[in-house]
């Protein structure tokens, strides 16, 4: 669960956006209930919805796992028998402790936390067309894309339409539907018996290729694999320097060539060396200038042609690195790079600090390309295998049970 906690913290912007949106949607048309009612005919409590929202599960908890579960479970457990069916006035026999903070219901924080025997108020709203439309808009706003948002909300409605649901229940259901979309694409980068396994890394400048290569190299090295890196973006000295820094961090050799020299020739030399050294893995960085697609296409095609002279099955993987902060733009990048190279899998970087994590759901739904890993920070260990359930829970602001 440690990684989940980290992912949740890192994805806070995405989850808080979805979460706050869902809270607002339920509160807007919902009403407080003191205990779970059976089915759609549940009678709303007489208290106005705005008076007391359900206990907020959204306070980020910096403490290490395990932590107490602040999110109400999808279905509220039967609450201890209430001594007073009316939740508004405090029970006369149990006066609230003195509370310096003004409290509209007069119960105080401690009173609310510890009032035994009183059912916690939960806001529920009937899942109808209006609510589904609002959820759909919220998903689109979190970069899930129109088609995917429609599909996810349609699935959400199935078996739930007309029922009264709390935010917690909606989050759980949404997380389930999102995980369902992501499940088929969550696959680690395949490792083949072929040595060296050649991994071509493509993506636009700044998407995080260099960082991802460094993180992957470090992980493979820790797993006992020998790795060689080729700095194939020979047109930018800064890019080569960055890669050297990452190679040093990972303890992996980085082959470079003079600025402006032919990347295909460097790739050929790197494969020759990797073969001679019996390396397990060769990772080839490439340029990402989309301004001149024809040039880039020719450059990538030439790299592939040339390395196939040494190994006709290479490259064994072509990883497309995408920057999550570009949102819907990531979709067009996949389309473009699939035309330029035979993309075999995706790595999504910068999922930390963006409210656009939903784009990963759209990518999975639209292209079905394997998502091998996600980047959640700039440090060497901030690359993680893609886990659909953890991702869906983090995105919707749900805690794992």
Ligand X SMILES: Nc1nc2c(ncn2[C@@H]2O[C@H](COP(=O)(O)OP(=O)(O)OP(=O)(O)O)[C@@H](O)[C@H]2O)c(=O)[nH]1
Question: By the criterion CB under 6 A, which residues form the site for ligand X?
Answer: 203, 205-211, 233, 239, 242, 288, 349-350, 352-353, 375-378, 382
Q: What angle do CA 289, 295, 298 make, to 5 degrees?
A: 120
Between 13 and 308, CB nearer to ligand X: 13
204 is an annotated ligand-binding site residue: yes
CB of 139 to ligand X, least distance (A): 23
Closest distance between ligand X and the C-beta of residue 247, in Å?
A: 13
The distance of closest approach from Cβ of residue 299 to ligand X in the complex, given in angstroms and rounded to an integer, is 13
Q: Which is nearer to ligand X, 149 or 201 (CB)?
A: 201
Residue 288 marked as a ligand binder: yes
Is 351 annotated to bind ligand? yes
Nearer to ligand X, 166 or 349 (CB): 349
The three-class DSSP label of residue 292 is coil
Per-position b or e across 219-228, b if 16+ CB within 10 A of its CB = bbbeeebbbb
The span from the CA of 124 to the CA of 121, in Å, is 10
Q: Which is nearer to ligand X, 23 or 323 (CB)?
A: 323
Nearer to ligand X, 233 or 280 (CB): 233
The annotation status of 51 as a binding-site residue, yes or no, is no
CB of 324 to ligand X, least distance (A): 8
Residue 97 C-beta: closest distance to ligand X, Å? 44
Q: Would the annotation count 22 as a binding residue?
A: no
In the bound state with ligand X, the residue whose beta carbon lies nearer, of 134 and 234, is: 234
Q: Report which of 47, 25, 42, 52 is spatially closest to residue 76, judged by C-alpha positions.
A: 42
DSSP-assigned letters across all residues of 303-351: HHHHHHHH-TT--SEEEEEEEGGGTTHHHHHHHHHHHHS---EEEEE--
83 is in an annotated binding site: no
Is 37 annotated in a binding site? The answer is no
Chain centre to alpha carbon of residue 80? 37
Residue nearest to ligand X (CB): 375
User: Considering the complex, what minimum distance in angstroms separates the CB of residue 231 from ligand X?
Assistant: 10
- Minimum Å gap between C-beta 233 and ligand X is 6
Q: Which of 338, 311, 330 is nearest to 375 (CA)?
A: 330
The response to whether 325 counts as a known ligand-binding position is: no
**Nearer to ligand X (CB atom), residue 353 or residue 400:** 353
| Rounded Cα distance, 355 and 16, in Å | 8
203 has binding-site annotation: yes
Q: Is the backbone peptide bond immediately before 66 cis, with ω within 30 degrees of 0? A: yes
Shortest distance, position 99 Cβ to ligand X, whole Å? 41
Please tell me whether 356 is known to bind a ligand: no
CA distance 49 to 376: 37
- Give me the phi and psi of 292, to 5 degrees please: -125, 90
Smallest distance from ligand X to CB 114, Å: 40
Could you tell me which of 238, 276, 234 has the C-alpha nearest to residue 255? 234
Cβ proximity to ligand X, 10 vs 151, nearer residue: 10
The residues near 113 (Cβ < 8 Å, ≥ 6 apart) are none
Map 59-127 to HEC letters: CCCCCCCCCCCCCCCCCCCCCCCCCCCCCCCCCCCCCCCCCCCCCCCCCHHHHHHHCCCCCCCEEEEEC
Q: Are strands 281-285 and 197-202 parallel, antiparallel or unpaired?
A: parallel
Establish whether 209 is an annotated binding residue.
yes
90 versus 232: smaller Cβ distance to ligand X:
232
- Give CA–CA dist 9/377, Å, rounded: 11
- SS3 of 202, please? strand
* Residue positions forming the annotated binding site: 203-210, 285-289, 349-352
* Residue positions forming the annotated binding site for GTP: 203-210, 285-289, 349-352
């Amino acid at each position: 669960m440690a990684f989940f906690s980290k992912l949740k913290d890192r994805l806070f912007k995405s989850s808080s956006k979805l979460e706050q949106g869902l809270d607002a949607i339920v509160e807007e048309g919902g009403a407080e209930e003191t205990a779970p009612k059976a089915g759609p005919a549940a009678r709303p409590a007489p208290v106005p919805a705005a008076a007391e929202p359900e206990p907020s599960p959204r306070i980020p908890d910096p403490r290490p796992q395990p932590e107490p579960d602040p999110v109400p479970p999808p279905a509220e457990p039967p609450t201890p028998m209430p001594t007073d069916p009316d939740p508004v006035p405090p029970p006369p026999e149990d006066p609230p402790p003195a509370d310096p903070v003004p409290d509209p219901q007069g119960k105080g924080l401690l009173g609310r936390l510890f009032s035994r025997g009183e059912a916690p108020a939960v806001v529920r709203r009937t899942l109808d067309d209006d609510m589904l439309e609002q959820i759909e808009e919220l998903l689109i706003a979190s970069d899930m894309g129109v088609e995917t948002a429609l599909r996810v909300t349609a699935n959400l409605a199935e078996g739930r339409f007309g029922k009264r649901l709390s935010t917690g229940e909606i989050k759980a259901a949404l997380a389930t539907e999102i995980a369902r979309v992501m499940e088929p694409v969550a696959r680690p980068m395949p490792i083949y018996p072929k040595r060296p396994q050649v991994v071509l890394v493509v993506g636009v400048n700044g998407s995080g290729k260099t960082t991802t290569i460094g993180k992957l190299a470090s992980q493979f090295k820790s797993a006992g694999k020998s790795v060689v890196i080729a700095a194939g973006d020979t047109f930018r000295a800064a890019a080569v320097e960055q890669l050297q820094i990452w190679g040093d961090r990972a303890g992996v050799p980085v082959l470079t060539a003079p600025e402006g020299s032919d990347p295909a020739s460097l790739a050929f030399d790197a494969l020759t060396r990797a073969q001679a050294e019996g390396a397990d893995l060769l990772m080839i960085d490439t340029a990402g200038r989309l301004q001149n697609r024809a040039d880039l296409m020719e450059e990538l095609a030439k790299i592939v042609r040339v390395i196939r002279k040494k190994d006709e099955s290479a490259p064994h993987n072509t990883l497309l690195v995408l920057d999550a902060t570009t949102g819907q733009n990531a979709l067009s990048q996949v389309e473009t790079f699939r035309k330029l190279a035979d993309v075999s899998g995706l790595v999504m970087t910068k999922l930390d600090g963006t409210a656009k994590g939903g784009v990963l759901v759209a990518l999975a739904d639209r292209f079905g390309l394997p998502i091998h890993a996600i980047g959640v920070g700039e440090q060497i260990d901030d690359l993680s295998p893609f886990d659909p359930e953890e991702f869906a829970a983090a995105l919707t602001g749900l805690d794992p049970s």
